[in-house]
Amino acid sequence: MSTAVNNIPSPFELADQPLDSEMTLSMGPQHPSTHGVLRLDLRLDGELVVKAIPDIGYLHTGMEKLFEYKKYQQGIVITDRMDYLNPLGNNLVYVMAAEKLLNLEIPERAQVIRVLMCELQRIASHMVWLGTSALDLGAMSVFFFCFRQREKIMNLIEAASGGRMTPSYFRIGGLMMDLPAGFERRVRQFMEDFPEALDTFETLVTGNTIWQSRTQGVGVIDKDEAINWGLTGPCLRGSGVGLDLRRHNPYCGYETYDFDIPVETDGDCWARFRVRMRELTESHKIVRQALERLKPGPTKADAPKVVLPDRDDMRKHMDSLIHHFLIVAEGFNVPEGEVYMPIEASKGELGVYMKSNGGPKPDRVHFRGPSFVNLAALPVMSEGEMVADVVAIIGSLDIVLGEIDR
Amino acid sequence: MTEKLHEFVQKLKDDNASWIAEVKEAFGEVTIYVPGESIVDVCWALKTKHGFDMLADLCGADRGPEEDPRFEVNYHLFSTEHYNRLRLKVLLSEDAPNLPTVTTIWKTADWHERETYDLFGVIFDGHPDLRRILLPSDFDGHALRKDYPLRGYEPYSMN
């Protein structure tokens, strides 16, 4: 088979007949404000964007193929690498899909810890979004303030799971392990400090007239268009649709938490910015409630054939040792069937379609990444805008290329 | 939970019984098997009459080279009005992996269909811009098919 591959960016397909007044600009893949390796073919009339064509796939690593060759529990580590700013959300959706197929009951404590960690991760993810999107628009100091807060959350995640960017903390049937001693105190400390940081962000960006004029009225997408393009998460809520899967397709007991769904109606970059800023407060609220609910209890489901036994049990009980060996060496069989499991990740609806043929490896795993779908709507938002606003729009979409390209 | 979904199935059946080949329920989800040629009509009816206004996901699946029909295309529909989810499934044979595009109904189907074409070789007739999306345009084969080896055929070179 031929391997003659030409990886030089293709001639701009839709710009085959350049007009006198139009030019094409290849933005990326190495452009800092494309948040990774995204290339945009921009067709410009002066400074106005006539057409924008996203070109993705530079980070494609065939993860969906890889899932089919890995046992269910081995797939968890792959999910960390997709949306690397929200790895716990990826872990969660993957293990919940497998748990749905296995019909596992997750103990209360594990559910609460999942909610707690996911909301902390959402704050961390939004911190990166705020820092980088402000950086794109020239506000450099915000970045450092945001990353200082993110660093605290990263330390918390590291304390719980041992990994910062790739925690793999949620396992099929529960958690990798219980929270370490003193973890709650550290979270409380963070929770105390965070509102002050939030005020700092508001002071730094919200009242800033440059920030306002760069985002207000830019990249507008109305309600019907947003639904038509499949936007979810803050992008959809910025267009006036109060959809939040934590409320409307609840999982992990989210229906019992008290939180609001921030909605803005303008549909521009400013609206998406406001929604995310208010979400930080809501996540803060949820973390606080989750902390109150943390009661001692088991963190793993009672399913010895699926969940790895405690090390201590393995030294005392022969059957635990056998189960451990079988799970690690052969994996566990998952009943035949297919599920679609959606959650509200920090960027929108993160869905996983998992199909099992009864064996220890999935037959098909497909990730519906919110970034992938949200990025597809970039052309409709940016056409007719100034070329400099494309940067603002990409920032407001909050994309992660690791998830888009998979 | 699924009673509500079966109501939609019943309504769809009342619209046109030939649209539904089979209905399966598992894990609290309802799957409607739809003949390929009527997928556009079914989607249109579900969107305009029954409130399934969002296409949450569209993905392909390969059952294996010896199976017939070999390919599945799953449409995960979602409603922003009543928050229900429904899965439509179209089965395709390897000889004619064609089905009509739904980009005319949901614009979000554009990239999903390109991805399914890229990785499975399913051809969506009428798609405005059916190019590869994740893999390079000169890539040989369709990587998520079961008969495509995990590591490809030859070392991929970057010349």
Three-state SS for A364? strand
**Cβ–Cβ pairs < 8 A, chains A and B:** 116
Domain with A384 in it: what CATH number? Answer: 1.10.645.10
What's the DSSP call for residue A309? P
Residue A20 lies in a domain: no
B33 touching chain A per CB within 8 A: no
- Residue to test with chain B: of A366, A373, A405, most B Cβ within 10 A: A366
Cβ <8 Å between B134 and A366: no
State the Cα–Cα distance between residues B150 and A386, nearest whole angstrom.
Answer: 43
Segment 31-90 of chain A within 8 Å of chain B by CB:
56-57, 60, 62, 64-66, 69
Q: Which of A245, A373, A405 is CA-nearest to residue B109?
A: A373
Of B107, B150, B153, the CB nearest to A229: B107
- DSSP per position, A239-283: TT----HHHHS--TTGGGS-------SS-SHHHHHHHHHHHHHHH
Q: Are strands B22-26 and A174-175 parallel, antiparallel or unpaired?
A: unpaired
Q: Which of A286, A279, A76, A94 is CA-nearest to residue A163?
A: A76
Residue A71 lies in a domain: yes
Residue A23 lies in a domain: no
Evaluated on CA atoms A148, A154, A156, A158, the torsion sign reads negative
pLDDT in tens, A70-103: 999 999 999 999 888 999 999 999 999 999 999 9
State the Cα–Cα distance between residues A86 and A403, nearest whole angstrom.
Answer: 10
Percent of chain A with pLDDT over 90: 49
State the Cα–Cα distance between residues A406 and A305, nearest whole angstrom.
Answer: 30
State the Cα–Cα distance between residues A124 and A127, nearest whole angstrom.
Answer: 5
Q: Which domain holds residue A342?
A: 63-405
- With beta carbons less than 8 A apart as the criterion, state whether A60 and A406 touch: yes
pLDDT in tens, A126-176: 999 999 988 888 888 889 999 999 999 999 999 999 888 899 999 998 898
pLDDT in tens, B69-109: 899 999 999 998 889 999 999 999 988 888 999 999 999 99
Residue A53 lies in a domain: no
Radius of gyration of chain A (CA): 22
- With beta carbons less than 8 A apart as the criterion, state whether A237 and A263 touch: yes
Domain count along chain A: 1
To the nearest whole angstrom, how far is the Cα of A372 from the nearest Cα of chain B?
A: 8
In CATH, what number does B2-125 get? Answer: 3.30.460.80
Residue B123 has pLDDT above 70, yes or no: yes
Q: Work out the pLDDT band at A1, boundaries 50, 70, 90.
A: very low
Radius of gyration of chain B (CA): 17
Cβ <8 Å between B108 and A353: no
B66 touching chain A per CB within 8 A: no
Cβ <8 Å between A1 and B107: no
Segment 144-183 of chain A within 8 Å of chain B by CB:
none
Q: Which residue of A has its CA nearest to B139?
A: A5
Cα A229 from chain centroid?
19
Q: Which of A256, A290, A366, A295 is CA-nearest to residue A123?
A: A290
Q: How many CB atoms lie within 10 A of CB A354?
A: 26
Instruction: Quote the ipTM score.
Output: 0.91
**Domain residue spans in chain B?**
2-125
pLDDT in tens, A8-56: 555 555 555 555 667 888 887 877 777 778 888 888 888 888 889 998 9
Backbone angles phi, psi at B4, to 5 degrees: -60, -40
